[in-house]
A and B are shown apart, each in its own frame.
Chain A
Amino acid sequence: MKNTLKIIAISFTLLLGASTYINAHHAFTAEFDPNAPINITGKVIKVEWINPHAWVHVEVKEAGKTTVWMVEGGTPNTLIRNGINKKTITPGTVIVVRGYQSKGKLCLPRCIANGRDVTFPDGSKVFMGSSGTGAPRDGSDPRERR
Chain B
Amino acid sequence: MILFSRLTGKIGLLAILLFTNLPVVLAEDDHSEIHDLMAHLLDPAAEAIWDSAGFVITEEGEFSLEPKNQEEWDKVLYGAKVISESAFLLSRPQISKNREEWIAVSGLLKVVGDKAFEAAEQQDVEELFRVGAELYQVCVACHQTYMTD
Please determine whether B55 and A86 come into contact, CB atoms closer than 8 angstroms.
yes
Please determine whether A45 and B100 come into contact, CB atoms closer than 8 angstroms.
no
Please determine whether B101 and A6 come into contact, CB atoms closer than 8 angstroms.
yes
- Of the candidates A14, A25, A45, A76, the one whose C-beta lies within 8 Å of that of B54 is A76
List A62-109 residues whose CB lies under 8 Å from chain B. 75-77, 86, 90-92
Contacts of A10 in B (CB 8 A): 104-105, 108, 141
Q: Once bound together, how far apart are the Cα atoms of A49 and B51, in whole Å?
A: 10
A52 in the interface (beta carbon within 8 A):
yes
Closest to A130 in B: B140
Size band of the B side of the interface? 35 or more
Chain B: minimal CB distance from A76 (Å): 7
List A8-53 residues whose CB lies under 8 Å from chain B. 10-11, 13-15, 17, 21-22, 24-26, 29-30, 45-52
- Number of residues from A at the complex interface, CB < 8 A: 33
Q: Once bound together, how far apart are the Cα atoms of A21 and B147, in whole Å?
A: 19
**Known A7-B100, A50-B65: A75·B136 in contact at CB below 8 Å:** yes
Contacts of B134 in A (CB 8 A): 14, 17
Q: Which of B49, B134, B138 has the most C-beta atoms of chain A within 10 angstroms of its own C-beta?
A: B134
Chain A: minimal CB distance from B91 (Å): 13
**Known A3-B100, A7-B100, A49-B57: A22·B132 in contact at CB below 8 Å:** no
Chain A: minimal CB distance from B10 (Å): 23
List B102-149 residues whose CB lies under 8 Å from chain A. 104-105, 108, 111-112, 129-130, 132-141, 143-144, 147, 149
B59 in the interface (beta carbon within 8 A):
yes
Please determine whether B57 and A90 come into contact, CB atoms closer than 8 angstroms.
yes
Contacts of B111 in A (CB 8 A): 14-15
A4 in the interface (beta carbon within 8 A):
yes
Q: Once bound together, how far apart are the Cα atoms of A91 and B61, in whole Å?
A: 9
B56 in the interface (beta carbon within 8 A):
yes
Please determine whether B50 and A47 come into contact, CB atoms closer than 8 angstroms.
no
Chain B: minimal CB distance from A8 (Å): 9
Contacts of B137 in A (CB 8 A): 13-14, 21-22
Please determine whether A26 and B144 come into contact, CB atoms closer than 8 angstroms.
yes
Contacts of B101 in A (CB 8 A): 3, 6-7
Please determine whether B140 and A46 come into contact, CB atoms closer than 8 angstroms.
no
Please determine whether B50 and A52 come into contact, CB atoms closer than 8 angstroms.
yes
Closest to A6 in B: B101
Please determine whether A25 and B140 come into contact, CB atoms closer than 8 angstroms.
yes
Please determine whether A47 and B57 come into contact, CB atoms closer than 8 angstroms.
yes
Chain A: minimal CB distance from B133 (Å): 5
- Return the 3 tightest CB-CB contacts between A and B, nearest first: A50-B54, A51-B132, A52-B136
A residues whose Cβ falls under 8 Å from a Cβ of B: 3-4, 6-7, 10-11, 13-15, 17, 21-22, 24-26, 29-30, 45-52, 75-77, 86, 90-92, 132
